[in-house]
Amino acid sequence: MGVRLQKYLADAGVASRRRCEELIISGLVKVNGEVASIGMSVEEGDLVEYQGKPVKAQGERVVFAFNKPRNVICTADANEDRVRVVDYFKELPYRLYTVGRLDYDSEGLIFVTNDGDFADKLTHPRYQKQKTYRALCEGSFTEAELSSLRKGIMLDDGMTAPADVRLAHTYGGRSEVYITIHEGRNRQVRRMLAAVGHSTLRLRRVAIGSVELRGLKQGEWRRLEKAEIDALLKTEPEQSRQ
């Protein structure tokens, strides 16, 4: 009995299953020398290649918490000439990729894995994992601005869901705020803050669900324990919207 090609690629640590489907559609995957297509299955003995390199199934599945520095990118593309998150793991015997993204100029917590099932589940909308950011911004916040962020902000791609917002400090013409959201739009926190008149000077993700950044210096990682992974993959109590 064959295995769906996108599942085979995900289990081999190439990317999440949905991302592997995109790679197949893009013509980057071959099976037995022929460009693959969606719907194909592979069997034992088939030669599967991604970007010209053989892809082999991996045994142990792992998930790491990583503190991404600024100016490090999340892609696992081997042709990229900038520093990648996966470059910090090159001594490990796994083919890894990031779950979700952090912008080039943002920093903080991101998960790195070879587990396609974990990646698919964690990024699926039904899980709605809360993500907490600490933002350093220009200016002081009014109560009206904080209230607007909490209720939801109209952006060019629609209304955001309500956010949990807490003012941490205001000093020297700058403010630090904690913002917790469950959505994952492109540069969402920066755009929300800009919508109420505040430029973001530094943005750091400090928690995803129940996993926190604390204890990890920039560029450091730790392996998640099974109990932490199980907690992340639960739909309760984070299932309801904020």
Which residues participate in catalysis according to the annotation? 103
Residues written for the chain:
242
**Rounded CA separation 55/72 (Å):** 26
Chain position carrying tokens 């990682």: 221
**Rounded CA separation 152/69 (Å):** 29
Q: How far is CA 42 from the centre of its chain?
A: 28
Q: Taking Cα atoms as reference points, which of 66, 59, 124 lies closest to residue 95?
A: 59
Q: Indicate the SS3 state at residue 5.
A: helix
Count the Cβ atoms, other than its own, within 10 Å of residue 83. Answer: 13
